[in-house]
Chains A and B, each alone.
Chain A
Amino acid sequence: MRPLPTSKLDPRIKMVWRLNDALWITILALCLVLPLWLISLDADEPLLSTAAIVAAVIAVALYVLCLVVLPPIRYQRWRYQLTEDYLEIALGIVWRKRFIIPFIRVQNTDTRQGPIMRAFGLSSVTVATAAGNHEIPGLDVEQAEQVRDRAAELARLAREDV
């Protein structure tokens, strides 16, 4: 089988993923557990309190999965490589995917930064083709700019056709 691409993301991305997932899980858990728990306090219904407990357990399990287990594996599996002519990406834990995106097909590239990413000094690069986008999350701001410029330049050098 083809060797994996060489470049890895910035290690700080793990923290970004953790924060992001924690945020979503917390919001979901609050929406589910809190109302159930409050109603069960009032109504004294055993079914409701068990439901609340089950929801809480699921939330904790999700926390463990998304904050402890997944980020290192995900980080390990997320690889990319910029060559002269194409961008190669390998990702996925269960469903592993490998993309080859020739730069001649790239329509535009841009960098994006969410609030969490900004706090860590990270940035993501998006490469758009006529049939879909690809994102490399979590690069050093400097590096992201470089990657974007390089992709844009290589894309510009290539012949115009769709």
Chain B
Amino acid sequence: MEQPERYRVHHAFIWLGGLRALFVTLWVIVVGAFSGLAALVAEITENPAFARDAGFVFALIVGGIIAVVLVIAALCFLLRWLQWRHLWYQFDPAEFSIYSGVISKKRTHVPYGRVQSVDQKATLIQRVLGLCAVSIDTAGGANNKAIVVPYVTKSQAEALRQQLYVQKAQLAAGAVAPVAAADGAVASGEAAPGAAAAPVMVDAAPVPMAAHPAAPGEGNILDAASDLTAQMSGVFDSPSFAQEAPSYEYGLSNKQLVLTGLFNNTSFVIVAVGLLAVVGQLIQGVADLVPNSDVLFESAVESVVAREGALMAGGILLGVFLVIALVMWALSAVGTMLSFGGFKARRRGDRVEVERGILQHSFQGVAIDRVQSVIISQTLVCRLMGYCEISLGKIDAMGDGSNESNKGKGGVQAGRVVVHPFVKKSQCAEIIAGLIPEFADMPTQATAVAPVAMRRAILRRTLWQGPGFWLIVATALLHVLMHVAAVATQDPDLFDLLTIFDPAATFLYAVGAVCMIANCIGAVMWARESSFAVNRRFMQVSNGGLSRESVSFPRQKIQFGCVRTNPFQRMAKTATLKAVIAAGVGGTTISLVDVTEEDAAHWMEWLEPRR
């Protein structure tokens, strides 16, 4: 039996990884020994003679520390080298295997059929070196981790991905998957840049625009930079291999990129809150200028003076807050723009590939039959402008904790691949038809929520689930308590506190009221716009409101369905639909509250498998 070829990862695994491990260890040691060091420094500053007397000892200590650091460094690199020696992957006939572990050996096998998606990520240093980490997702449920092949050259990663898909396709076609020797001739990690034997090369640079009629006004300022970095293959990388030409491809236009940066991040919320606060302050200032008639004249003058001062201070504070918020917004906008710089989404064969990021480059590839859902979401701002975000739901493995895939940064959300961050609503259908025609056949006959849902939604969203309402209740309780305490104890300090607390409470009431009004409007809009629709193959659930999300998924991908009712719903003859799909980590539930009982029953019938 011929042994399949073993592929090693790049030697940067040893020194780059070793350096990282070294820094971490040193950091831990420094933190651990901090108190001792601090005591020593304090001793020296207090008693300079001590340092002179103990000069020799001191030098010895410093020398000792350096020696220890060197030993630790040597150990780190030795360990990494050992790990590297025992880390390799190979393409077995039926599965992809990765071997690791020095003392306790670990072998991970992934049957080709189970490969969900193959992603590629590179930090800035790795990009400069032309390296990246490949992570292979499997549908392993909640406590399964992605298989990560660290530190491979970009071309090796491409070959790896290609090979995985080739094997999978062969397996699907029922062929006895022989390891395709020609395809498998992967440039090994040590291959010199620009190896002469490389097959037909295709540059990573985008294919001419003419080939993509669906791409409207493509290209943006950051694309040039991204192309540059894509062409600069890095220190260790060899040129890439030929690939099947994509059948559909698009990027972001300048306008889309800037809008994405400005509105597609959470910092915008901070600015909005800041603006709200300023408005509140203004209203309060106006209200304070109208004096209360029942207050004695002198005290009124006094309090007006005091309040004027407080108002000034508050105004300055708010101004500072607003400036900070604006700066944060600008920074995060730039961050988002960088992370979406060089954005390219394309359909290649039977998979969707999304590439983005100027500094940290990421490449996500999902096989079409692994796409769980198509999500079209609109935040309030997007809605007002008529734009939306399109993403694909896919199964995600658990991140490594330190992995950036779990952070909600720059629009990255677990279980979602953003295929367009900011697109006109009218172009949605076009993009979906181009990128994933399999999902283009959407149901059209929507079943709206029950009429009674509006009343229930208003009650639910403004009262018992509304943050504004509870803010008002909590503030009122505190307010009353403070006043009662002040009157009961007759403590002058408490009365002083009240002069500050009263306006603060007014402000909180205002915020709560605004929140409640927003919630109420959201509830009405939700009831008007929410619906579900089914046809033979697909289900679509739209949840409206101030922001709007509509999720479409094939019937095949529904893991199980659930209809839930609470006593109030049973009185109102409504029910909550819950369709659970496997996207994300451990599944995603798509629910729609308050459809009529009959519709729920019909939906359950629809859910029953058909022969």
Contact = CB atoms under 8 A, between A and B. Distances in A.
B496 interface: no
A46 interface: no
B580 A104 contact: no
A162 B604 contact: no
A131 B580 contact: yes
Q: Which of B370, B562, B587 has the most CB of A within 10 A?
A: B562
B371 to A, nearest CB: 11
B139 interface: yes
Interface string A130-143: 11101000000000
A129 B559 contact: yes
A161 B560 contact: no
B564 A95 contact: yes
A98 B564 CA distance: 6
Contacts of A45: none
A130 B141 contact: yes
Given A130-B582, A131-B586, A132-B580, A102 B609 contact: yes
Contacts of A97: 562-564
B566 A101 contact: no
Contacts of B139: 130, 162
Contacts of B604: 2, 98, 100
Nearest to B601: A2
By size class, the interface of chain B is 20 to 34
A131 B605 CA distance: 21
B105 interface: no
Contact of B609 (A103, A128, A130, A160): A103
Contacts of B597: 1
A131 B564 contact: no
B565 A95 contact: yes
Contact of A162 (B395, B560, B561): B395
A34 B336 CA distance: 57
Interface in B576-611: 580-582, 586-588, 597, 601, 604-605, 607-609, 611
Interface in B545-564: 556, 558-564
A1 B395 contact: no
Interface string B136-148: 0001010000000
Nearest to A127: B560
A105 B560 CA distance: 8
Contacts of A96: 564-566, 570
Nearest to A2: B601
B538 to A, nearest CB: 15
A86 interface: yes
B588 A131 contact: yes
A79 to B, nearest CB: 14
Interface in B122-148: 139, 141
Contacts of B581: 131
A158 to B, nearest CB: 8
Given A2-B604, A96-B564, A132 B609 contact: no
Residue of A97, A105, A107, A161 with most partner-chain B CB within 10 A? A105
B560 A99 contact: yes
Interface of A: 1-2, 83, 85-86, 92, 94-105, 107, 128-132, 134, 160-162
Given A96-B565, A105-B559, A129-B559, 17 more contacts: A92-B564, A94-B566, A96-B570, A97-B562, A98-B562, A98-B604, A100-B562, A102-B558, A128-B141, A129-B580, A130-B139, A131-B581, A131-B587, A132-B587, A134-B560, A160-B113, A162-B395
26 contacts: A2-B601, A86-B608, A86-B609, A95-B566, A96-B564, A96-B565, A96-B566, A96-B570, A97-B562, A98-B563, A99-B560, A99-B561, A100-B560, A100-B604, A100-B607, A100-B608, A105-B559, A128-B141, A130-B559, A130-B582, A131-B559, A131-B580, A131-B587, A132-B559, A132-B587, A134-B560
